[in-house]
């Protein structure tokens, strides 16, 4: 799978990816140390494969990362920084299939990988480059907060609450109704989970200005 990503080698690379995916599906992720070491060594070609215009190869690579995150669970944390930036960029590309799979992969990370959630929040905020990506960021962060395994003390200790506030503040007046709706849900959830933070947040940002035109976002 570490062959140069040329048209001639696409079939060979894809077969390697499919074999590794199958290995994960039959219990390979139980050998955590070996699997992490192997994925580390393959991270560059995997990222390149995800970004290729060859849809089948790109899709297979994304699905491998999805399978890895589900199989490794919290042990996937060291791999977050290797793959999340590429996945986020894929969420705003024109090809529908890779875009859909990349978004699904991010949500799999949220649902199946408990430990890296603070790190995932950080990457989502850093890569808010477009309306489409901002929507993915808001939806994924909302999924983080709504997850049954979400830990409020951990996110407070990691000072990630401010990252959530940044997303709310940056997106509250977005032109997209879809983004504003998700941000409203995000803000409502944030108020419940972090009442003290939310109280100071509302005072700091002057909500009558930030949420202008969207008064329902700050209703008690």
d(CA 87, CA 51): 9
Give me the torsion for CA of 188, 189, 192, 198, rounded to 10°: -60
Which pLDDT value is given to residue 6?
Answer: 57
Both structure tokens of 2: 């570490």
d(CA 180, CA 158): 26
Of 144, 139, 181, 182, whose CA–CA distance to 161 is shortest?
144
pLDDT in tens, the chain (220 residues): 555 555 567 788 888 899 999 999 999 999 999 999 999 999 998 999 999 888 889 999 999 999 999 899 888 888 888 898 898 888 877 678 888 899 889 888 877 765 445 555 566 555 555 777 778 778 877 877 777 666 665 555 445 677 778 778 777 777 888 888 888 888 888 888 878 777 777 766 555 555 555 544 444 4
Both structure tokens of 149: 């395994």
d(CA 217, CA 199): 14
d(CA 1, CA 3): 5
């Amino acid at each position: 799978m570490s062959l140069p990503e040329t048209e001639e080698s696409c079939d060979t690379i894809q077969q390697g990816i499919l074999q590794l995916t199958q290995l994960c599906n039959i219990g390979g992720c139980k050998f955590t140390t070996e699997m992490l070491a192997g994925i580390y060594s393959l991270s560059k070609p995997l990222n390149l494969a995800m970004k290729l215009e060859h849809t089948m190869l790109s899709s297979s690579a994304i699905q491998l990362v999805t399978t890895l995150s589900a199989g490794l669970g919290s042990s996937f944390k060291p791999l977050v920084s290797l793959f999340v930036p590429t996945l986020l960029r894929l969420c705003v590309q024109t090809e529908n299939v890779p875009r859909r799979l990349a978004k699904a992969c991010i949500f799999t990370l949220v649902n199946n990988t408990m430990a890296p959630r603070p790190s995932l929040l950080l990457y989502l905020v850093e890569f808010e480059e477009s309306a489409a990506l901002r929507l993915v960021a808001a939806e994924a962060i909302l999924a983080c907060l709504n997850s049954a395994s979400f830990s409020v003390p951990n996110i407070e200790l990691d000072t990630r609450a401010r990252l959530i506030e940044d997303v709310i503040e940056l997106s509250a007046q977005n032109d997209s109704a879809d983004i504003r709706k998700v941000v409203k849900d995000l803000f409502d959830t944030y108020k419940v989970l972090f009442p003290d933070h939310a109280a100071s947040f509302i005072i700091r940002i002057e909500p009558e200005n930030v949420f202008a035109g969207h008064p329902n976002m700050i209703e008690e």
